[in-house]
Amino acid sequence: MPNILNTAPELYRIRVAVPVHLYDCFDYKVTEDQYRQIEVGARVAVSFGRQHVVGIVTEKLQSDAPIDSSFQLKFITEILDDQTILNEAVLKLCHWSAQYYQFPIGEVMHAAIPTLLRQGKPYNLLARTWKVLDLNADDKFKRSEKQQDAYKVLKLHPHGTAETILNLSGIETATLKAIEKKGIIRCELEPQNFQPEPVQLAQMPLTPNEDQQKAIQSMVKAKNKYQAFLLDGLTGSGKTEVYLQVMHEVLKQGKQVLVLVPEIGLTPQTISRFQSRFHCNIVLMHSGLNDTKRLQAWQHAQTGKATIILGTRSAIFTPMPNLGLIILDEEHDLSFKQQEGFRYHARDVALYRAHLENCPIVLGSATPSIDSFYLADQGKLTHLKLTQRAGGALMPKMHLIDLKIAKKQQGISQNLIDEIKKRLDKKEQVLIFLNRRGYAPVLICESCAWQANCPHCDAHFTLHKKPYEHLHCHHCGTINRLPDACPQCHQQTLKPIGMGTAKVEETLQELFPEHKILRVDRDSTSRVGSWQKIYDQIHTSEPMILLGTQMLAKGHHFPYVTLVAILDIDSGLLSVDFRATERTAQLIIQVAGRAGRGEMKGEVYLQTLRPDHPLLNTLITKDYRAFAKDTLADRQIALLPPCRYAVMIRCESRSQDENQTFLTNMTQKLREHAGNLIDIWGPIPAPMERKAGRYQAHVVLLSTERAKMHFYVREWWQQILHFKPSNMKITIDVDPQELS
């Protein structure tokens, strides 16, 4: 049969997503051979304008597809992959996310692949795998325990283990090379004919309690189909054990599991629990990996060699040929939402992915987001509860300390100091939480009330004493010298007000000179490995005081901590953001959850100026669920998210007026089109209007009809981009999590 394509070679065309900040894909010409060879989801090198870029093929066009004659089609430069690297599900996921979050498809797809592939490096770059040659060499390591341990691990995996994975479990490449010299193992560059390893349990599962049993059963029933679960369980109620047992059922079918966590670096013990339960290929995907390791991990997932993929937010876009289960732990955590550029929420993308892959998904938390409670109420999530602490540990008791009447030393109430002393005397550990690093948040002049403010932001400078005395703006990074005297009245009456972690550390050292105090914040853990060191010390059971910020609140298991204190819960209650109370409640429960996880019962002290705050009282006299119920009811009355859907447009420029005028004109246009369907708030200045010398303002759009609102916003957003002044930065945030 004559091939009509032969007569018009420009009819061989493909559509390519290129990594530029434009909303369309672009068409390129290919030769007939290339057309046959090319697969959707493979990379091609193309020229775009004057740039040479790596694009991803999104479509092979039919010969009769209309030709865009507005500009001359170019030929692609080269095909980079002979097969697809993004499978169908991930391609669909990228298209959906680009559409939903109003972000350019080319950039979304680029975000989905590892850096080295973005740079056009060959797919099979490195795949070092170690395999045992001699299975009876146990007695050949008399002098090296390290080699002995490595050998034991290697023997468990007769098909070979990737060097990345060995490295991650603490086996160094040097050790492997030393064993290789003895001729006992071999490094293979690329395993051919890889067989998926059947999963083996390395450790017996615990006997689940009744709640756990129910949760496991209903999740296992859902395997091989889409169902979304909310696993709502107190801190320490055994959620991780539930994950492990459900994972086992899925792994036994030869399927892969994707586990998303907020921050891998901060939860080493979660990782080791997965590693010690299963003998199988587990890979980690997070921003701490170098490019090569990340590519390797990605390839293991993409080829199906890895069976468990444990990653942070962006791992949701990893292609996995046999995905059978998604777990998203600490689902309330804000780090699942990317707050710049492509502003997606990994939780929502994950729900959509599970739907595409036809597999179950579990969102787990001790303090589920109000958003998820809402979805559960609507029947979109199956709500499963774990109501007791596993292993018999009791929930800690909470106490409020009224700072208005309490006797205090440097901001710490006497009552609390006495309790800390009691615990230390009993050789227990104490955790003190304050979400403010540095020495003091404000420096003022006592004579004339001058305040040290950042010249570029609407914010106070934070006083730091180490490594030298300086003023630091935590919003734009400006660092200034500490003035010797007040710049306004020239008196030497400058005084730090309030306390940061460094100040509290000083106070505690004075109060408890003979005890160890470990400070954990971004300043004390900035060096690589320092967190691990601190972590190891905490687990020595020695009596000590742990003092820290956010970093201490997340998912850790500190078995010897029996007293937890939050020094200032009020700052979270004063914010203009309607989600601030939700975040504060989550923080209180998460920090409180660090107490009494072992055999000893814990207690929690909260210092506040507002002991009669209704939120606090519901939380303390009842529990988080009661708080969540009240909060959701409030949101329903106020018609706030999740009871309405939101889209936020942020605008940033050198002029307040320009922001206001532009946003006012644009919202006027939207009103003309969308009428009453969309409720528009603003334009209003951001809570911190000036940041790094630029002014920020925003509008928030709210509607009960998500699809219709998105439809209007899509068109409108393109107009905004078209009309905006060139010196103005405008961003769109669909389902914003923060109103700042």
List residues near Zn ion by CB under 5 A.
Answer: 445, 447-448, 450, 454, 456-457, 473, 475-476, 478, 486, 488-489
Residue 241 site contact among ligand ADP, Zn ion, none (CB < 5 to 8 Å, cut-off depends on kind): ligand ADP
Region binding ligand ADP by CB under 6 A among candidate stretches 40-48, 54-62, 235-243, 281-289: 235-243
Region binding ligand ADP by CB under 6 A among candidate stretches 58-66, 229-237, 445-453, 495-503: 229-237
Tell me the three state secondary structure of residue 26.
strand
Residue 233 site contact among Zn ion, ligand ADP, none (CB < 5 to 8 Å, cut-off depends on kind): ligand ADP
Whose tokens are 């060699």? That residue is 305
Q: What is the rounded CA–CA span in Å between residue 381 and residue 215?
A: 13
End-to-end CA distance of the chain: 64
Q: What is the rounded CA–CA span in Å between residue 105 and residue 22?
A: 8
Six-digit token string for 137: 């060499």
Residue 236 site contact among ligand ADP, Zn ion, none (CB < 5 to 8 Å, cut-off depends on kind): ligand ADP
Cα separations in angstroms, 291 against 116, 642, 648: 6, 38, 34
Report whether 267 contacts 319 (CB < 8 A): no
Binds ligand ADP by CB under 6 A, chosen from 102, 237, 307, 562: 237
Binds ligand ADP by CB under 6 A, chosen from 207, 378, 621, 726: 207
Tell me the three state secondary structure of residue 79.
strand
3-state secondary structure 80-131: CCCCCCCCHHHHHHHHHHHHHHCCCHHHHHHHHCCHHHHCCCCCCCCCCEEE
Nearer to ligand ADP, 390 or 646 (CB): 390
473 is in an annotated binding site: yes
Count of alpha carbons within 13 angstroms of residue 590, beta-carbon side: 23
Site for ligand ADP in 662-681 (CB under 6 A): none
Taking the complex as a whole, the smallest distance from the CB of residue 211 to ligand ADP amounts, in Å, to 9
Region binding ligand ADP by CB under 6 A among candidate stretches 33-41, 152-160, 230-238, 566-574: 230-238
Taking the complex as a whole, the smallest distance from the CB of residue 396 to ligand ADP amounts, in Å, to 13
**Count of residues in contact with ligand ADP, rule CB under 6 A:** 15
Nearer to ligand ADP, 272 or 409 (CB): 272
Tell me the three state secondary structure of residue 153.
helix
Q: Does 590 bind ligand ADP (CB under 6 A)?
A: no
CB neighbour list of residue 583: distance below 8 Å, 6 or more residues apart: 334, 572
Residue 475 site contact among ligand ADP, Zn ion, none (CB < 5 to 8 Å, cut-off depends on kind): Zn ion
Q: Does 209 bind ligand ADP (CB under 6 A)?
A: yes
Strands 308-311 and 282-285, by their bridges, are parallel
Residue 450 site contact among Zn ion, ligand ADP, none (CB < 5 to 8 Å, cut-off depends on kind): Zn ion
Nearer to Zn ion, 229 or 450 (CB): 450
Q: What is the rounded CA–CA span in Å between residue 627 and residue 614?
A: 9
Residue 240 site contact among ligand ADP, Zn ion, none (CB < 5 to 8 Å, cut-off depends on kind): ligand ADP
Of 326, 325, 330, 328, whose CA–CA distance to 369 is shortest?
330
Region binding ligand ADP by CB under 6 A among candidate stretches 137-145, 236-244, 613-621, 716-724: 236-244
Of 232, 239, 246, 229, whose CA–CA distance to 209 is shortest?
239
Nearer to Zn ion, 473 or 587 (CB): 473
Which letter does DSSP use for residue 288 in this model?
A: T
Taking the complex as a whole, the smallest distance from the CB of residue 446 to Zn ion amounts, in Å, to 8
Residue 212 site contact among Zn ion, ligand ADP, none (CB < 5 to 8 Å, cut-off depends on kind): ligand ADP
Six-digit token string for 377: 């109420």
Q: What is the rounded CA–CA span in Å between residue 302 and residue 87?
A: 8
For residues 239 to 258, the per-residue mask of contacts with ligand ADP, x marking binding by CB under 6 A and - elsewhere, is xxx-----------------
Q: Does 396 bind ligand ADP (CB under 6 A)?
A: no
Cα separations in angstroms, 43 against 51, 76, 77, 81, 397: 16, 11, 11, 6, 57
Cβ-based neighbour number of residue 182 at 10 Å: 14
Query: Is residue 321 reached through a cis peptide bond, with omega within 30 degrees of 0 on the bond before it?
Result: no
Taking the complex as a whole, the smallest distance from the CB of residue 735 to ligand ADP amounts, in Å, to 27
Of 156, 181, 300, whose CA–CA distance to 173 is shortest?
181
Taking the complex as a whole, the smallest distance from the CB of residue 393 to ligand ADP amounts, in Å, to 7
Of 287, 264, 296, 282, whose CA–CA distance to 116 is shortest?
296
Taking the complex as a whole, the smallest distance from the CB of residue 653 to Zn ion amounts, in Å, to 17
Nearer to ligand ADP, 81 or 241 (CB): 241
Nearer to Zn ion, 402 or 458 (CB): 458
Binds ligand ADP by CB under 6 A, chosen from 212, 367, 462, 737: 212
Report whether 632 contacts 426 (CB < 8 A): no
Nearer to ligand ADP, 276 or 537 (CB): 276
476 is in an annotated binding site: yes
Count Cβ neighbours within 10 Å for each residue of 470-500 and write b for 16 or more, e otherwise: bbbbbbbebeeeebeebeeeeeeebebebbb
Taking the complex as a whole, the smallest distance from the CB of residue 373 to ligand ADP amounts, in Å, to 18
Taking the complex as a whole, the smallest distance from the CB of residue 630 to ligand ADP amounts, in Å, to 24
Taking the complex as a whole, the smallest distance from the CB of residue 490 to Zn ion amounts, in Å, to 7
Q: What is the rounded CA–CA span in Å between residue 197 and residue 84?
A: 24
Q: What is the rounded CA–CA span in Å between residue 199 and residue 280?
A: 6
Taking the complex as a whole, the smallest distance from the CB of residue 455 to Zn ion amounts, in Å, to 7
Report whether 309 contacts 258 (CB < 8 A): yes
94 is in an annotated binding site: no
Q: What is the rounded CA–CA span in Å between residue 568 and residue 441?
A: 13
Nearer to ligand ADP, 19 or 233 (CB): 233
Q: Determine which helix (DSSP H) or strand (DSSP E) holds 188, and give its type and residue range.
A: strand 185-188
187 is in an annotated binding site: no
For residues 163 to 202, the per-residue mask of contacts with ligand ADP, x marking binding by CB under 6 A and - elsewhere, is ----------------------------------------
Q: Does 586 bind ligand ADP (CB under 6 A)?
A: no
Query: Is residue 196 reached through a cis peptide bond, with omega within 30 degrees of 0 on the bond before it?
Result: no
643 is in an annotated binding site: no
Q: Does 208 bind ligand ADP (CB under 6 A)?
A: yes
Taking the complex as a whole, the smallest distance from the CB of residue 331 to ligand ADP amounts, in Å, to 12
Taking the complex as a whole, the smallest distance from the CB of residue 274 to ligand ADP amounts, in Å, to 12
Taking the complex as a whole, the smallest distance from the CB of residue 390 to ligand ADP amounts, in Å, to 3
**Cβ-count burial of 627 within 10 angstroms (0-12 exposed, 13-18 middle, 19+ buried)?**
buried
Strand partners, 670: none
Tell me the three state secondary structure of residue 521.
coil
Six-digit token string for 304: 């199906």
Q: What is the rounded CA–CA span in Å between residue 61 and residue 35?
A: 9
Residue 556 site contact among ligand ADP, Zn ion, none (CB < 5 to 8 Å, cut-off depends on kind): none
Taking the complex as a whole, the smallest distance from the CB of residue 524 to Zn ion amounts, in Å, to 22
Nearer to ligand ADP, 206 or 639 (CB): 206
Binds ligand ADP by CB under 6 A, chosen from 233, 262, 596, 736: 233
Q: Does 211 bind ligand ADP (CB under 6 A)?
A: no
Of 575, 580, 543, whose CA–CA distance to 558 is shortest?
543
651 is in an annotated binding site: no
Give me the residues that bind ligand ADP (CB under 6 A), please: 206-209, 212, 233, 235-241, 390-391
Binding-site annotation, residues:
445, 448, 454, 457, 473, 476, 486, 489
Binding-site annotation, residues for Zn(2+):
445, 448, 454, 457, 473, 476, 486, 489
